[in-house]
Amino acid sequence: MAGVGGGNDFQWCFSQVKGAIDEDVAEADIISTVEFNYSGDLLATGDKGGRVVIFQREQESKNRPLSRGEYNVYSTFQSHEPEFDYLKSLEIEEKINKIRWLPQQNAAHFLLSTNDKTIKLWKISERDKRAEGYNLKDEDGRLRDPFRITSLRVPVLMPMDLMVEASPRRIFANAHTYHINSISINSDHETYLSADDLRINLWHLEITDRSFNIVDIKPANMEELTEVITAAECHPHQCNVFVYSSSKGTIRLCDMRAAALCDRHSKFFEEPEDPSSRSFFSEIISSISDVKFSHSGRYMMTRDYLSVKVWDLNMENRPVETYQVHEYLRSKLCSLYENDCIFDKFECCWNGSDSAIMTGSYNNFFRMFDRNTRRDITLEASRENSKPRAMLKPRKVCTGGKRKKDEISVDSLDFNKKILHTAWHPKENVIAVAATNNLYIFQDKIN
Amino acid sequence: MEYKVEAHRIMSISLGKIYNSRVQRGGIKLHKNLLVSLVLRSARQVYLSDYYGGVCLNAQHIEAKEWELMDSEQEKLIPAVEDCSPDVGGSEATLATEEPTEAPDHSAQHHMVEVSVEGDQPCPETGDKGSEYCSPESVEGQDVSTTKDVTNEVACVTPRSSSSSHQSVKKQEEERPAECEPSATTSEITSDLHQSAKAHVCSTRKRSAEKSPANDSPLKRTKATSSNSTVPNSNNEEVEEMDTSNVSNLITIFGSSFSGLLSKDGAKPETEAGESDSGSGQICCDQMLKNLNPWSTAIVAF
């Protein structure tokens, strides 16, 4: 039943939660990105401390039929360290902005992880055998005295406890003046793009000392700056096509065959603004925080502060679907501006069959929209609903007037508990939701 | 005015954010600072232009309410007409003297309002006490649909060509004939569209009438130069009344760190500051406000 249906045909149940229970959350533990690999067997998270933690799904075994593929820690490593740019007297945060998996080509797994300035290619490999019986050195590694060696001994591979090693294979540095916000691996599996606020670069995975600049929106006079790049993604099938979104709420689709520098877009997606809803903060809430192609490559989804929009690549003048995530916040924009919440960058994701989309909200709520039935559901990631296989109850926010039982009023929402990062298993109905420093995994209840 | 307090508050918050971004870990974030500077610019325009533009609320709704208010006031009082534009000739001046009596009552409610030419400015609307607004110049590319009987009417609209402004103008046209009849005044001004664009028909107190020519020149200068970079003098006095200490403090902090940038635009602020007799804090405030947009983006260029 791979990826059938969406939010409401299924019952979402709690599966696991990873992370500390402490009320005091260390800043370094805050999860900053979540990503399944292509098969869904591996789930990677990056945090503000520059660490990457990879979970692997247990093979379902006959011995434990009830543990339907739980995710356990597979590897943990420090991907990025804080750096200091001496020239500009700026500290470079080690926070992992994005992780993207490469398609698996051999026994090892590869992923790209990036902070604000540097992208690294990591190889995660297993070692479960060890060579023993070296001729020239002792078991503890010391070289044997050559005069003592009287016979030839060939090392033999012996099994050992599984060890997962992560090693940085490539470091792609010094190509971005501004903060990297996106990386995306091309469908050719050889190149990838990285985007910062004003430029997009195209890299080859094997070449670290050079990249091609394919988009540059930096104005000659910085005083004329009106928009920045907020996200970019390669098309899932067409290796010459990519899109990038802007802080003005527009998306540009570019074709790399057209020119070396793709400053001129091939398609321009923008929805005209509703003049009646203008406010001081209209520009902020129209800024797109995430853009994702559907798996089919026919649609793309954008997330701005209050809504998620699905666009058909063949229609530029408006989205085909718009879903309101938390419209009740529209009247609170001023306070959200004061407490900086209005700058939160929510992500969004598709399910495997593109029939449903998911995005996060505040109070540890996250929302799912079924594109076929047009139904939506609000769920909460909380420790209270953390009993194994406990069904998640739909939540509702009361926007005014009488508050019904089980509803939460807008004023009681906890804006410090925000779900910015979510991921959907590419084939099954398993979702990973990052709530500050905890990672929740939910599965649908089948069987 | 409430909106001024709100706009001022948003401005101080925005400046605070920009300041804090300099000391944040990871360096200045271009995207966030750009958004903050956009909010700051919008708030500043509302704050400086002395009207509650449709930026914050539904413009049409407000206008509808304003017109109702204005109607009721019109019925009670004979509207006084005084031409605010220094460009319009003597005929309007005589007009003013003809009907001075009710001017004081109206004047409190009427303000000079700057009609911004900036692209993203919404249609100006009447203030919250039934004030009318005047356009000091005929703004290019506008549908000036003021009618013949502009004289005794409160508001003369030169809106941007947008749907909401059209509706508001049409409303005024509807109101005007009805209100015109009781008070017979000269319609010399009215037929000439160009002239009527310049003729602000607003009732103002004599004091504010004196003020208005002063208003016009900075307003005109506002239009001549970049819309971001000038401050009308009249607003300096109002600014003084409000508590700007927070903003001034932040601005002096900025000012000291970005003195190079201030001096780049030094010619302009100095001429403007020269005319205002406010204190150094205000000058600093003005300078900052003028230089805000280039300055904030320059942070990032840095």
- Domain coordinates in residue numbering, chain A: 12-31+175-444
- Rounded CA separation B178/B233 (Å): 37
Neighbours of A250 (CB within 10 A): 18
A350 vs A6, more confident = A350
Residue A283, token pair as written in the block? 């520009």
CB contact (8 A) between residue A178 and residue B30: yes
Give B155→chain A minimum CA distance, Å. Answer: 22
Question: Which burial class, exposed, middle or buried, applies to B140 when counting CB atoms under 10 A from its CB (0-12, 13-18, 19+)?
Answer: exposed
Cβ atoms of residues B145 and B167 within 8 Å: no
- pLDDT bin (cut points 50, 70, 90) of residue A203 is very high
Q: How close does chain A come to B132, measured CA to CA in Å?
A: 22
Pairing state between β A396-398 and A407-409: parallel
Distance CA B263, CA A144 (A): 75
Return the closest-CA partner of residue A227 out of A206, A251, A243.
Answer: A251
Q: Is A344 on the interface with B (CB under 8 A)?
A: no
CB A285, CB A304: distance < 8 Å: yes
Query: A82 to chain B nearest CA, in Å?
Result: 9
Q: Which of B25, B30, B46 has its CB closest to that of A91?
A: B25
| B265-to-A196, B232, B247 alpha-carbon distances in Å | 30, 17, 20
Q: Determine the pLDDT at residue A278.
A: 84
- Across the beta sheet with A299-303, the strand order is A290-293, A299-303, A307-312, A321-324
B171 interface with A at CB cutoff 8 Å: no
For A367-424, write each residue's pLDDT tens digit: 999 999 999 999 999 988 888 888 999 999 988 777 788 889 999 999 999 999 999 9
Strands A356-360 and A421-424: unpaired
Distance of alpha carbon A220 from the chain centroid: 33
Contact B222, B37 (CB under 8 A): no
Written in H, E and C, the secondary structure of A174-186 is CCCCCCCCEEEEC
Token reading at A270: 């923008």
Please enumerate in sequence order all residues whose Cβ is within 8 A of that of A166, keeping only pairs 6 or more positions apart, or say none.
A52, A75, A77, A122, A123, A124
Partner residue facing A338 (CB), from B13, B46, B297: B13
Question: Is residue A266 over pLDDT 50?
Answer: yes
Shortest Cα–Cα distance, B267 to chain A (Å):
18
Across all residues in chain A, what is the average pLDDT?
92
Contacts of B32 in chain A (CB under 8 A): 343
Beta bridge partners of A231: A245
d(CA A247, CA B238): 35
Which carries the bigger pLDDT value, residue A123 or residue B122? A123
Out of A44-53, A212-221, B263-272, which region has the weakest mean confidence (pLDDT)?
B263-272
Selected residue of A81, A115, A181, A225 to mutate for chain B interface (largest B Cβ count, 10 A): A225
Q: Is A362's pLDDT higher than 80?
A: yes
In this complex, the residue of B26, B31, B32 whose CB is nearest that of residue A92 is B26
3-state secondary structure chain A: CCCCCCCCCCCEEEEEEECCCCCCCCHHHCEEEEEECCCCCEEEEEECCCEEEEEEECCCCCCCCCCCCCEEEEEEEECCCCEEECCCCEEECCCCCEEEECCCCCCCEEEEEECCCCEEEEEEEEEEEEEECCCCECCCCCECCHHHCCCCCCCEEEEEEEEEEEEEEEEECCCCCCCCCEEEECCCCCEEEEECCCEEEEEECCEEEEEEEEEECCCCCHHHCCCCEEEEEECCCCCCEEEEEECCCCEEEEECCCCCCCCCCCEEECCCCCHHHCCCCHHHHHCCCEEEECCCCCEEEEECCCEEEEEECCCCCCCCEEEECCHHHHHHHHHHHHCCHHHCCCCEEECCCCCEEEEECECCEEEEEECCCCCEEEEECCHHHCCCCCECCCCEEECCCCCCCCEEEHHHCCCCCECCEEEECCCCCEEEEEECCEEEEEEECCC
ipTM of this model? 0.90
Which among B75-79, B173-177, B211-215 has the top mean pLDDT? B75-79
Of residues B31, B39, B293, nearest to A223 (C-beta): B293
Residues 6+ apart with CB under 8 A from A5: A355, A356, A370, A429
Q: State how far the Cα of A279 lies from the Cα of A277, in Å rounded to an integer.
A: 6
A12-31+175-444, CATH topology level: Methylamine Dehydrogenase; Chain H (2.130.10)
> Is any Cβ of chain B less than 8 angstroms from the Cβ of A239?
no
The model's pLDDT over B227-251, given as tens digits with 9 standing for 90+, comes to: 344 444 444 433 333 344 444 444 5
Which candidate, A196, A204, A48, A228, places its Cα nearest to that of A112?
A204
Of A400 and A31, the structure prediction assigns the larger pLDDT to A31
- Mind listing the pLDDT tens digit for each residue in B13-59? 999 999 998 888 888 899 999 999 999 999 988 888 765 544 444 45
Cβ contact (<8 Å) for A225 and B26?
A: no
Amino acid found at A224: E
pLDDT: is A317 or B127 the higher one? A317
Dihedral sign from CA coordinates of B53, B57, B58, B63: negative
Residue A224 pLDDT greater than 70, yes or no? yes
Higher model confidence: residue B71 or residue A284?
Answer: A284
> What Rg value do the Cα atoms of chain B yield, rounded?
20
Residues of B with Cβ-Cβ distance to A90 under 8 angstroms? 26-27
B298 close to A (CB below 8 A): yes
Cβ B27–A88 below 8 Å, yes or no? yes
Please give the pLDDT value at position A436: 94
Classify residue A63 as exposed, middle or buried by CB count within 10 Å of its CB (0-12, 13-18, 19+): exposed
- Roughly what angle, to the nearest 10 degrees, separates helices B30-49 and B280-301? 150
- CA A145 to chain CA centroid, nearest Å: 53
Contact B55 A280 (CB under 8 A): yes
Average pLDDT over residues A353-367: 97
In the chain, the amino acid numbered A198 is: L
Question: How much is the average pLDDT of A105-128?
Answer: 96
| B55 in contact with chain A, both atoms CB, cutoff 8 A | yes
CB contacts, 8 Å: A197 with chain B: 30-31
Partners of residue B257 in chain A, C-beta under 8 Å? none
The residue type found at B273 is: A
CA dist., res. A245 & res. B48, Å (int): 33
